[in-house]
Amino acid sequence: TDTSQNIFPMKILDGSEGEGGGQIIRNSICYAALLQQDLRIHSVRKKRSKPGLRAQHLTGLKLAADICGGSLVDAHVGSEAFEYHPKPMPKPKLIPCKDRLEVEVEVDGQHDDADVDVAVKPNTIVADIKTAGSICLLFQVGLPCMLYSNSRISHLELRGGTNADMAPQIDYTQQVFLPIISRHCFRSLLLLQPTDESASTSIASDANANAIVANIDIQKRGYFPVGKGVASISLHEALKEFRGPMEPILMKERGHVISISITAFYAGKLPRFVAKKMADSALRLIQGDNDLNSIAT
Residues 80, 43: contact at Cβ < 8 Å?
yes
pLDDT in tens, 163-184: 999 899 999 999 999 999 998 9
User: Phi/psi of residue 260, each to 5°?
Assistant: -135, 135
When pLDDT is cut at 50, 70 and 90, the band that residue 218 belongs to is very high
Which amino acid makes up residue 113? D
What would the pLDDT profile of 224-277 be if each residue is shown by its tens digit? 999 999 999 999 999 988 888 899 988 888 888 888 888 898 888 889 999 999
Q: What is the pLDDT of residue 143?
A: 95
Closest by alpha carbon to 109, among 225, 218, 279?
A: 225
pLDDT at position 136:
96
Question: DSSP strand E in the chain: where?
Answer: 11-14, 39-42, 71-73, 81-85, 100-101, 105-107, 110-112, 118-119, 124-128, 155-160, 214-220, 229-235, 260-261, 295-296
* Burial 177-206, CB ≥16 within 10 A → b, else e: bbbbbbbbbbbebbebeebeeeeebbebee
Q: Residue 261's beta-bridge partner residues?
A: 296
Q: Name the more confident of 7 and 81.
A: 81
User: What is the pLDDT, as a whole number, of residue 204?
Assistant: 37
